[in-house]
Amino acid sequence: MFADIITIGDEILIGQIIDTNSAFIAKELNKIGISVYQITSVQDDREHILQALVESKAHADIVIVTGGLGPTKDDITKHTFCEFFNDELVEDKKVLAHVENLFAKYISNTPISDLNRKQAWVPSKAKVLHNENGTAPGMWFYEDGTTFISLPGVPFEMKHLIREVVVPELVRFYDRPHIIHKTIHTYGMGESAIAQIIEEWENNLPNFVKLAYLPSLGKVRLRLTAKGTDYSILSSAIELESQKLFPLIGDIILGSEEDEELEETISKLLIEKGLTLSTAESFTGGTIASHLTAIPGASAYFKGSVVSYATETKVNVLGVPQALVDTYSVVSEQVAMAMAQGVKKLLDTDFAIATTGNAGPTKGDSDANVGIVYIGIASPTHVFALKFTMGSQRERIVQKSVNKALELLQKEIIKM
């Protein structure tokens, strides 16, 4: 069973906003056994929308459209659906009452206008999907074996409708296969090197199990996917095949939970063990702290960060001895270790991460070549720092270093 996702809006095509709606919808559909065949972004243009609908109808069982449902003239989705289905707009009294209630309750300082009331006009052939968080209702059409669903483009409105209305209705309406994923997280080895080691294992996977390599800077995720009608067979196969990987590449596997990033794994470990963490970041500029604090509940273990970008901050705030800087350079193993010890003491934590290096484009306070970085880890029992060469492009250097720092930290936490 296949679905197409169509997002409508010039703001997407000119890069003014990022289309996060499609990723969310695709993930929710996948959970219920519906595979996404194609994702398309189109202009707020009648002909472009009609063409996209015609093309999707030719191969998709389900077509989900987001955007273009506002009250202004540039929002033409409802009118275009009417043309596509040879339909007309009619006023829905329930939607009108909802819109008026929203204005009376939450937007009392702005009088409701006829434009706002037009949100209650919907195609007569549509099943209206109640949008309790906004004025634009969702719409459900069914024609010639294809379901068309139109949703508002505002993310929190769309997400609520997908979770609470669309997905339950699709589950009732369609018999679907099962799709099971398991993702193995590896760190410290490139995609091609991993592929060589596991080639024989990959060649002998069952025909209903597929492997995808998902590389990023400093890490590679191996996603196993099984699709079929018998959940128990799929689940057993995925578990068996994933376990076969550990004798082959177990030394670089740092997690195997579906869709769990390394910082989430670290979060769980620290909370389970009752341990705390701080960071002292130079060239990474607080990126490690940002990754960690993006995880809900980080306040239970993360005490804070010092972005010691300048040498004097390393010395004056973290207590790095000036003699170390003078003798070994600010980009050195010794300074990375001193930074980790300094922030660990300053914020009274069990663990600390420190980064110092040259991300370019110029050498800054050190003579170290661009791409040379040191990552320091301080634990309750010891401190160390390792040197890495992370390439020459600034963004890659930073992200690879963040991933490596988290990898090193997790290994130390596991030892506790």
Structural domains of the chain in order of their starting residue, each with its CATH number: 2-173 (3.40.980.10), 178-256 (3.30.70.2860), 262-415 (3.90.950.20)
State whether residue 342 is helix, strand or coil: helix
CA distance 408 to 376: 9
The pLDDT-based confidence of 364 (bands split at 50, 70, 90) is low
Closest CA to 349 of 270, 234, 243: 270
Band the pLDDT of 258: cuts 50, 70, 90: low
- Give the dihedral sign, CA 160/161/164/168: negative
Residue 273 exposure: Cα atoms within 13 Å on the Cβ side: 18
Q: Please report the sign of the dihedral spanned by the C-alpha atoms of residue 257, residue 28, residue 209, residue 199.
A: negative
- pLDDT tens-digit readout, 91-126: 999 999 998 888 888 777 778 888 889 889 999 999
Going by pLDDT thresholds of 50, 70 and 90, the confidence category of residue 247 is very high
pLDDT of residue 363: 64
314-361 pLDDT, tens per residue?
Answer: 999 999 999 999 999 999 999 999 999 999 999 999 999 999 999 877
- Look at residue 259 and tell me whether its pLDDT is greater than 60: no
pLDDT score at 93: 94
